[in-house]
Each structure stands twice: as C-alpha cells, then as structure tokens.
Amino acid sequence: MLSVMRNVIARDLTLAWRRRADVFVSVLFFVIVASLFPLGIGPEPKLLRVIGPGVVWVAALLASMLALSRLFADDYADGTLEQMLIGATPLSMIVIAKVFAHWIAANLPLVLIAPLLGLQFGLPADALAVLALALALGTPSLSLIGAIGAALTLGLRGGGVLLALLVLPLYAPVLILGSLAVEATATGMTAQPYLLLLAAMSLAALSLAPWAIAAALRISYE
Amino acid sequence: MPSANLQNESASFNWFKYASPQAFFPLAGAIAPWFAAFAAVLFVVGLYIGFFVAPTDAQQGESYRIIFIHVPAAWMSMVIYLAMAFWAGIGLAFNTRLSGMMASALAPTGAWFTFIALWTGALWGRPTWGTWWVWDARLTSELLLLFLYFGFMALQAAIDDPRRADKAGAVLALVGVINIPIIYFSVQWWNTLHQGSSVSLKSAPTMAATMFTGMMVMVFACWAYAIAAALWRVRCIILERELRTDWVRAYLGKQT
Amino acid sequence: MNWGSMIEFFAMGGKGLYVWGSYGVTFAVIAIEIAMLALRRRAAGHRA
C-alpha cells in the first residue's frame, strides 16, 4: 500500500514538473492579486501593514483554489482515476498521496513566495517567518477540503466557479486563524495558539477529508 | 426490502413503507395542508401577541418587535441545515432515494430563512446600534451559512443525474455540518480579538413573559411552515423524478 | 392594548420603516416561495 502511495506521489510530481508552467501561473496569480491591493487602497504604509496579513492570506486562498481543478481532471479524462477506483489499494490512501503531491506542487511554492509579498506590505521580519509557517500549516487543510470540492465537481459544466462557491465558505476558519497568527506577531504577541490550531485543523482534515474525497470520487463515477 | 415483520404488518406501523416515494407522496399530500393551516393560525396568534399583547421594550422601544421574526428565522436557518444533513446522511447510509429528495426539498426553505434572518437582523441593527451590519460572530456565521446553502443548491443544480446530485449534495451537506461549529467558533474568536466596535450583541434586553411567549409561538409557526413547504416541495420533486412511472402517469391523468 | 390609534400602530414609535420592512419582506418571501412551489407543481403536471 505504501509503495502504491509512493508511486502515486512520484508520478504526480513528475507530471507537475513536466507542467511547470501551470505552477508558475498560480504563483504569478498569487503575486499579482496581492500586488493589486495596494493599488486599490493606496500606498499608506501604516494601512498596508494592517491589511497585509489578510491580503496575502486571501490571495493564497484564491491561488490554492484555482489550482484545485487540476487535481483530478487529467486522471479523470484519461481513465487513470477509474483504475484507482477499482484497484486493490484503498481509494482514501491514494487520495492522500494525490493531495500530498498536489500540495507540494501547488501550495509549497506559495508558502515560499509569501514572505516576499509580506515584505511588500511592510511586515516585520518575525511576522514574515510566521506568515510562511502559518501558510505551511494551514494550506494542507485548504488542499484537503478543496479536494472534496474538486471531486464533487468532477466533469460538471461550470465546474470552476461552482468549486469556488462550494469551497470558499469552508476556507473561512483557516483564513481567520492564519491572518490572526501573522497579525499577532506583527503586533508583538505570540502566534503560538493560532499556529497550533492551524496544525490541529490540518490534522483533523487529514483524518476526515480523505473519506469524503473518496466517496465523492465514487459518486462522480456512478 | 427484507420484510421480517410481514405477518404483523397490520399490527405494527411499518415506517419503511414510507421510504418509497410512491408511498410517501400521498402521505405528504395529506399532512402538508395540516402543517400549513397550523402555521397560518400560529402566525396570526404569534403576531397578535407580538404586536398587541407584548409591551413596548423599555430600552429599544418598538423596534424590538422584529425579534418575533428574527430569532425564529435564525433558529430555523440552523435547524433546517441540520435536518438537511440528517436526511443526506440517511440517504448515503441506507441508499434510500426519498432521503436525498427530502434534503433537496429542505435546502431552498433553509436558504430563505437564512436570508430573512440576515435581512431582519440588518433592519433591527440599524435603529438599535446605528448600523446595518456588524462583523459579529453570529452575523458572519449566518452569512457563511447562506453561502453553504447556495453551494448545496448550486451543486445539485449542476448535476443532471438525480441520483448523483443527491449523493454529491449529501457529501457536501455532511462536510458543511462538520464545519459549521468550526466556522462559528473561529469567527467568534476572530471577532472578540478585533473588538473595535462598541456594539455588543450579548446584552440582550431582559424579556417580559409575553415577549417570550410571542416569540415561541412564532418559532412553532416557522417550524410548521418549514415542514409544510418542504413536504410540498418534496412532492414536486417526486413527481419530476418519477414522471416516467405508471403511478405518476395515473395520478396526473386522474387530476386533469 | 399598546396602540391608541391605527396611525400609532403603523408608526411603531418612529421605527415603522424597520419593523414593517422586516415583516413585509418576510411575508413577501413566504409568498414568493409558495408561488414558486405552485409553479413547480404545475410544470411537473404539464410535462407528463
């Protein structure tokens, strides 16, 4: 079972590497969305420092969501997913592997680039570190919850917009805790409780979401 | 369906009989008007108590009278989501078709109640706190609840195959119901840490007994209305989905 | 009885717009929902 999971991860990462352009586009989207906010709000540094954590998190949320439609679409189109459905390995395990690979390809770049965006908003150095850490702890639950939506909307018309409608309200707790962590650091308080809660949510999502994702995939194939 | 109690079917009431849409259709048709009538009577009684018996509130004046619709609507918005998730879960677990139809039938009524709760909340907030909207934990969660309802309905509308729509909606409703408490507590925490506004929704005015009675009557009125509307809608859904069956053809033929 | 006259009743102590705005929209919503249900029922009947 573990070897199957390893193979799925290796395969998905290879595929993602061959399509580096896709990854690059979502990172670019992340950077552009975050950079548009100062243009709309004005260059006042004090104000930007206040809205910075929230803006970077919202941009990360959107970028992470946009990448979701790639998660199952190709495997659905070429029949690989059907093989996984009827294979001997539990579907939820394969799903964990796929979401993990997707997270590395689509969300890890966001985590790494985020401190740079935080710099644009004048966040202090320790807040930048916490921003990256909070994103690293919070984005796994985004990927896991999002994968439920991606599986449910597989092959549907208007899937992309529908996916946003399904998934974004469920992202609210991660957004709240993530921006609070950064804000707390920026205002000289401890970010620890928020980071712990983000980690707890990702672990809870890891234990519950794979079943929902597997169930949703089976439903989409009926 | 395994019928172990076939012999004493006449003696004991067999609930599973009504799990079939064909059997449930006339039952829903028979009881829906009763709930509707009950709702109408309770609305009249509740509004009479609310407007003519309950005294003017000492702090808020007359605008508090919005409570008689606001609080019941807010309760219903949550209760209906729970009921929806319950039927969705039953549908997934026992693969009963009617459960999925019930879940779909509840969603629009739940969304309407959520909208009413938000609307009346805004109209109550304006004269009371001087603002249409505050990012209070309860208001924000209610708004997110409305989005969850919309997501459920949009997902089901996008799927042509009714069985897939039922099951996909069920998974989404169950994911949503797990998330609602998380959303609520995170929003509440977020709000208390951002205590910029002076508005506190926690200090509710102490309620006179008649106010409470009026509110509870309205709560029951809303329950009865929601049940009647859901039963009525589930009848529409049954007809739409079973259009090709003999019994629906016979039923519709008899009507015209 | 709270109200001396009809005018007082509709004024709601100066808060009439808010109170009647709430109840008006509520009953409008109920009317819309009932109408939509009736239309849906009729459409189902006609499709057969």
Inter-chain contacts counted by CB atoms under 8 A, chains B and C? 85
Alpha-carbon gap, residue B125 to B118, rounded angstroms: 10
Q: Where does residue B199 rank: exposed (0-12), middle (13-18), buried (19+ CB within 10 A)?
A: middle
The pLDDT confidence band at residue B12, using thresholds 50, 70 and 90, is low
Over 60: is that where the pLDDT of B202 sits?
no
**Per-residue pLDDT, B10:** 47
Helix (H) or strand (E) holding A51: helix A45-68
Shortest Cα–Cα distance, C33 to chain B (Å): 8
The pLDDT confidence band at residue B197, using thresholds 50, 70 and 90, is very low
3-state secondary structure of A69: coil
Contacts of A158 in chain B (CB under 8 A): 158
**Per-residue pLDDT, B65:** 86
Shortest Cα–Cα distance, B230 to chain C (Å): 10
The pLDDT confidence band at residue A58, using thresholds 50, 70 and 90, is very high
Shortest Cα–Cα distance, C22 to chain B (Å): 5
**Per-residue pLDDT, B13:** 61
Alpha-carbon gap, residue B152 to C25, rounded angstroms: 24
Contact call for C19 and B66, based on CB within 8 A:
yes
**Per-residue pLDDT, B158:** 92
The pLDDT confidence band at residue B166, using thresholds 50, 70 and 90, is very high
In tens, the pLDDT along A147-172 reads: 999 999 988 877 788 999 999 999 99
Encoded amino acid at A69, one letter: S
Over 70: is that where the pLDDT of A216 sits?
yes
Q: Which tokens in the block code for residue C48? A: 């057969």
What average pLDDT score do residues A120-141 get?
Answer: 92
In tens, the pLDDT along B209-231 reads: 888 888 899 999 999 999 999 99
3-state secondary structure of B61: strand
Contact call for B70 and C29, based on CB within 8 A:
no
Report the helix count and the strand count for chain B, using DSSP H and E: 7, 0
Neighbours of B8 (CB within 10 A): 9
**Residue B19: CB partners within 8 Å, gap ≥ 6?**
B1, B96, B98, B99
pLDDT > 70 in chain A, percent:
100
**Per-residue pLDDT, B14:** 66
Contacts of B175 in chain A (CB under 8 A): 145, 148, 170, 212
**Per-residue pLDDT, B1:** 42
Partner-chain residue, chosen from C1, C14, C18, that has the shortest CB–CB distance to B66? C18
What average pLDDT score do residues B176-198 get?
Answer: 74
**Per-residue pLDDT, A110:** 94
What average pLDDT score do residues B187-209 get?
Answer: 61
Query: Which of the residue ranges A68-77, A130-139, A196-205, B77-86 would you say has the lowest mean pLDDT?
Result: A68-77
Mutate: best of B146, B149, B159, B188, partner A, most A CBs <10 A: B159
**Per-residue pLDDT, B195:** 52
Which phi and psi angles does A36 have, rounded to 5°? -75, -30
Is the pLDDT higher at B9 or at B147?
B147
Contacts of C33 in chain B (CB under 8 A): 108-109, 112, 229
3-state secondary structure of B57: strand
3-state secondary structure of B224: helix
Choose which CATH entry (1.20.120, 1.10.3470, 1.10.10, 3.30.450) describes domain B41-255: 1.20.120
In tens, the pLDDT along B130-161 reads: 888 877 777 888 899 999 999 999 999 999 89
| DSSP for A70-135, written as a single string | HHHHHHHHHSHHHHHHHSSS-HHHHHHHHHHHHIIIIIHHHHHHHHHHHHHTT--HHHHHHHHHHH
**Residue B194: CB partners within 8 Å, gap ≥ 6?**
B135
Alpha-carbon gap, residue A43 to A47, rounded angstroms: 8
B171 at C interface, C-beta within 8 A: no
Cβ–Cβ < 8 Å for A149, A166: yes
Q: Where does residue A22 rank: exposed (0-12), middle (13-18), buried (19+ CB within 10 A)?
A: middle
What average pLDDT score do residues B83-96 get?
Answer: 92
What are the extents of the domains in chain A? 2-221
The pLDDT confidence band at residue B102, using thresholds 50, 70 and 90, is very high
The pLDDT confidence band at residue B254, using thresholds 50, 70 and 90, is low
Query: Which of the residue ranges A78-82, A122-126, B69-73, C44-48 would you say has the lowest mean pLDDT?
Result: C44-48
Which phi and psi angles does B4 have, rounded to 5°? -70, -30
Is the pLDDT higher at B194 or at C16?
C16
Query: Which of the residue ranges A30-34, A185-189, A215-219, B190-194 would you say has the lowest mean pLDDT?
Result: B190-194
Contact call for A173 and B193, based on CB within 8 A:
no
**Per-residue pLDDT, B206:** 60
Over 80: is that where the pLDDT of A66 sits?
yes
| DSSP for B147-176, written as a single string | HHHHHHHHHHHH--SHHHHHHHHHHHHHHH
With a CB-CB cutoff of 8 Å, which residues 110-129 of chain A face chain B? none
Nearest C-alpha neighbor of A114 from the set A215, A47, A33, A191: A33
What average pLDDT score do residues C6-18 get?
Answer: 79
pLDDT > 70 in chain B, percent:
86
Which of A46-50, A200-204, B7-11, B202-206 is most confident? A200-204
The pLDDT confidence band at residue B4, using thresholds 50, 70 and 90, is very low
**Per-residue pLDDT, B199:** 46
What average pLDDT score do residues A47-60 get?
Answer: 91
Is it the case that chain C and chain B have 3 or more CB pairs lying under 8 Å apart?
yes
C10 at B interface, C-beta within 8 A: no
Is the pLDDT higher at B51 or at A130?
A130
What are the extents of the domains in chain B? 41-255
Helical pair B246-255 and B209-241, crossing angle rounded to 10 deg: 110
Over 90: is that where the pLDDT of A205 sits?
yes
**Per-residue pLDDT, B200:** 47
Partner-chain residue, chosen from C26, C30, C48, that has the shortest CB–CB distance to B120? C26
What average pLDDT score do residues A174-183 get?
Answer: 91
Is the pLDDT higher at C4 or at A168?
A168
In tens, the pLDDT along A80-106 reads: 888 888 888 888 899 999 999 999 999
As a dihedral over the C-alpha atoms of residue A133, residue A134, residue A138, residue A139, rounded to 10 degrees, the angle is -60
Contacts of B97 in chain A (CB under 8 A): none
Over 60: is that where the pLDDT of B116 sits?
yes
